[in-house]
Structure 1
Amino acid sequence: MDPVVRLRRLHRLQWIFLGVFAVLIASVQGWQLWTAHERTAQEQEARLRSQAQLLGAMLERQLIAIDGGLRDVTTGIPDLSDPRDATDMQARLKALDSAIAGTRTIAMVDESGRILAASRNGLLGIDVSGLPYFMNARRSNRADALYVSPPNRTSLGVWSLNVLRVIQRDDGAFAGAVVATLDPNWLAETVGAINYADDMWTGLAHTTGGLLLLAPQVNISLDAANLAQPGTMFSKHMASGQLETLNRGAVAVTDQPIA
């Protein structure tokens, strides 16, 4: 064979070998990057689940504590038409509000929706009969349930949610409710405490889709925010029927991608 032709073939084979070798190197590096990405994703998913479980446990414990306080108030209620009894109840509610972390206001409401006593000044006599949380409690009238309202704007203009216990007469008739308004600052600190990265934020929403808060705070109107829209991660989670789900996509109220 002509030495020149042989040299050209050898040269071509060398380039082919180098090309195959480069493809193999690129494939290995690509595989390593993919496995590293998958490993990181799995680690982050596990950490997100852990943080969500931690937050759920903290909020559950606090709701149990608040519920215990409300239960205590609903037993042995005096006749608040007597000014002395009303004053005693005011002091009792203030002491309970101070003793339980996470509450902003605790109030007692009669069957007509009028506030008879409260831990915070300036609320006596206010009519809450038209507010959804009170109407729902009066309509269902279940003394064995702790009601958790959707987020709402309180009488003092605070965006929060209420938890309440129904008060019943001896015959089971609706006699009013004891209502605790959660402290939004305490909620924001509790929710924000699980964030473990600067670019992470956590939200807290009601099962109706109402958004209670985002931590850290995002410049949006919480009053108008509703996560219960078709195709949102919230709707997918609720449709799953599971306590925990992991979804990836854009958050309905911010359009920011998130897992």
Structure 2
Amino acid sequence: MLKRLPITFWATVFVAVVCLSLVAIDGWRSLNARDELLAASERITSNLARSMAQHAEDTIAAADTSLADIVERIETDGAGPPAIARLHRLMEAQVARLPQLNGLFVYDESGRWVVNSRPVMNLAYNNADREYFEYHRTHPDRSPHIGVPVVSRSTGKWVLPVSRRLQRPDGAFAGVALATIDLDYFTRFYQSLDIGRRGAVALLHKQGTMLVRRPFDETRVGISIVNTPIYRQFSAGGQTGTGFFRSTQDGELRMNSYRALARYPLFVTAALSRDEVLEGWRRDTLLHSFGVMLLALLLALFGKRLIQQIERRLQAERELLQARDALESLNRTLEKLALQDGLTGLANRRQFDVTLGKEFSRAARAGSELAFIMMDVDYFKQYNDLYGHSAGDDCLRAISKTIRTLTPKRPGDLAARYGGEEIGILLPQTGVAGAQAVAERIRKAIEALRITHAGSPNGVVTISAGVAALVPQLPDSLPAELLEAADQALYAAKSAGRNRVHCAPPAA
């Protein structure tokens, strides 16, 4: 019976199936493209939030470092005329060196200006009415305090106050040391971020106060956001998060990522407008759907050209396969980059943890030794203080290049940035003596770089290293034991005078 049906019927069925398939595939493709676009937007906002958090952390940390130095000098040297004169010169130099600083100030216990960073010190002002002054007067806490933005009495600019308490030897309140960060510094950085026409970024206090926002509106500086959806989720959801929130500022629905600062009671948000993100996708979908409909109509009118249409379809599939292969290659590249430290070019902590677990298990099965070298740059904080963080980064890169060159290239050998200026080297099938030889070669090579370091007794940059090795015995041994032993050996090397290699005693 099926054989008696005309070929036109089968042609009609075939064309109908093809047309419906095209429409369905196009709909699936459009929905999938939309999901991928939103996922990409989530990654972008998350990366923006991470960058903003790091920027804010570094900005405030630099100001806080200056404050800590001022507090130490005031409490040690006192407030006599010679000490104040020296402190005034120091404060002027600090403000000139740090572009984010609007000014540095010291107030006595009554709020009167004692010294500041202005070339001509006007001591007529009194800041006892400021929120940060009242906070330190009633709180004995010596940690930095970040207040609400205020308009500076000396410059008329919006500033973010970062302050520390001064106190007498008996613990009594003796005044306040203050650093003011120009809000324009944050605004300029936020203006450099590509967030589209309707995106928004902000720096906020964990207590729910708006500090800085792009687009900037000075009437909204210092307002409370405790009743907004994003603050409620931040308060309940931990340090990081992402979601769609409708802004209470302008009513815009945005993909919003937030991240808390590690050392200060602040968090940042980065948001892209949902409509703006999908604007191109809507236009592309409309045009693409129109094309698919037109193609379906042409297929219905010109059924005799089915073979040509099938060839076009095969060509489209080949292009999709090429796109998939290109995407897989890109994903492999991104995965490799995700395991590398961006500053030093060494493996990052994530890759180190994975490799340590694998090599620890392999050494346990084989009954072989596994060695670990923990290295730390001597007096690196003083290096940063003397030459700046940019020079510190260059120093770490030079050291890391030397370590990469001298690290053995066997399978399983790994040099990784363990954290800050700490670098670890994992050496499978190596005992303490072999690891000590590797560490000593590296120590000598780094000393031979002759990187000038005025803050080190050696006059150049050096490293200290701790070496440990063990034969893992599962399930009694843990990777942390190897790390702890190397860390203790490193501590012993530093205690013994630095610029040396110390080996941990054999495991019991």
TM-score class normalised by the smaller sequence:
0.7 to 0.9
How does 1:46-85 map onto structure 2 within 5 Å?
46-77=43-74, 78-80=77-79, 82-85=80-83
Confirm or deny: 8 A CA contact 1:226 1:253 kept in the other structure: no
Which residue in the other structure is 1:178 paired with? Answer: 177
TM-score by length of 2: 0.44
Q: Distance in 2 between matches of 1:192 and 1:109?
A: 34
- Percent identical across equivalent pairs? 20
Unaligned runs of 5+ in 2: 256-508
Q: Counterparts of 2:141 and 2:218 in 1: how far apart (Å)?
A: 35
CA contact (8 A) 2:245 2:253 kept: yes
Partners in 1 of 2:122 and 2:152 — Cα distance? Answer: 11
| Alignment partners' CA distance in 1, 2:121 and 2:157 | 14
- Which AA in structure 1 matches 2:253? P
Tell me, yes or no, if the aligned pair for 2:146 and 2:162 is still in contact at 8 Å. yes
Question: Residues 187-215 of structure 1, C-alpha deviation per residue, up to 9 Å, x if partnerless?
Answer: 11223333354543322222233222223
* Structure 2 partner of 1:132: 131
Instruction: Give matches, 1:84-233, under 5 Å.
Output: 84-120=82-118, 121=120, 123-143=122-142, 145-156=143-154, 157-195=156-194, 197-215=196-214, 217-219=215-217, 221-223=219-221, 225-229=223-227, 231-233=228-230
| Alpha-carbon distance in 2 for matches of 1:226, 1:167 | 29
Which residue of structure 2 aligns with residue 236 of structure 1?
Answer: 233
Is the contact between residue 225 and residue 253 of structure 1 (CA under 8 Å) also seen in structure 2? no
Q: How many angstroms apart in 2 are the aligned matches of 1:58 and 1:223?
A: 19
Q: Distance in 1 between matches of 2:231 and 2:38?
A: 21
Distance across 2 between alignment mates of 1:243 and 1:114: 39
Q: CA RMSD in A?
A: 2.7
Q: Which residue of 2 aligns with 1:3?
A: none
Task: Give CA-to-partner distance per residue, 1:114-154, whole Å, 9 cap, x none.
Answer: 221111356523221121111112211212x1111122333
Task: Return the alpha-carbon distance in structure 2 between the equivalents of residues 108 and 102 of structure 1.
Answer: 18
Q: 1:123 to 1:209 in 2, by over 3 A?
A: farther
How many matched pairs? 246
**Alpha-carbon spacing, 1:55–1:219, altered in 2? closer, same or farther (3 Å):** closer
Q: 1:220 to 1:149 in 2, by over 3 A?
A: closer
Secondary structure at the counterpart of residue 248 of structure 1: strand
CA gap 1:227/1:162 in 2 versus in 1, 3 angstroms: same
More helix by proportion, 1 or 2? 2
- SS of equivalent to 1:101: coil
Deviation at 1:93, TM superposition (A): 1.6
Offset at residue 251 of structure 1 (A): 1.7
Q: Give the aligned residue type for 1:53.
A: R
Which of the residues 18, 33, 36 maps onto 1:36?
33
- Partners of 1:114 and 1:220 lie apart in 2 by 28
1:55–1:250 CA distance, 2 compared to 1 (3 A): same
| Mapped partners of 2:148, 2:72: distance in 1 | 26
What TM-score does the superposition give when structure 1 sets the normalisation length? 0.82
3-state SS of the aligned residue for 1:142? Answer: coil
Per-residue CA deviations over 1:40-88 (Å, capped at 9, x if unaligned) read 11112112111211221122122222222111111132443x4454343
Distance apart, 1:218 and its partner CA: 3.9
Matching residue's letter, 1:46: R
Q: Is the 8 A contact 2:149 2:222 kept in 1?
A: no
Cα distance in 1 for residues equivalent to 2:62 and 2:217: 32
How far apart are residue 29 of structure 1 and its match? 1.0
Amino acid at match of 1:88: R
Question: Is the deviation greater in 123-132 or in 177-186?
Answer: 123-132
* Inter-partner Cα distance in structure 2 for 1:96 and 1:228: 36
Give the conservation status (yes or no) of the 8 Å contact 1:151–1:210.
Answer: no
Alpha-carbon contact 2:148-2:222 (below 8 Å) kept: no
Alignment match, 1:253: 249
Which residue is 2:502 aligned to?
A: none
Structure 1 contact 209–227 (Cα < 8 Å) conserved: yes
SS of residue matched to 1:245: strand
Gaps of 5+ in 1: 1-5
Shift of residue 247, structure 1, vs aligned partner:
2.1
Decide which structure has the larger Cα Rg and report it: 2
Quote the offset at 1:32 in angstroms. Answer: 0.5
- Aligned letter for 2:58? R
Q: Is the 8 A contact 1:159 1:212 kept in 2?
A: no
Q: Which has the higher contact order (CA 8 A, sep 6+)?
A: 1
Partner SS for 2:115: strand
Retained in 2: the 8 A contact 1:55–1:194? no
C-alpha distance after superposition, 1:155-179 (max 9, x if no partner) = 2443221111111211122211210
Q: For residue 19 of structure 1, report the CA deviation from its aligned partner.
A: 5.5
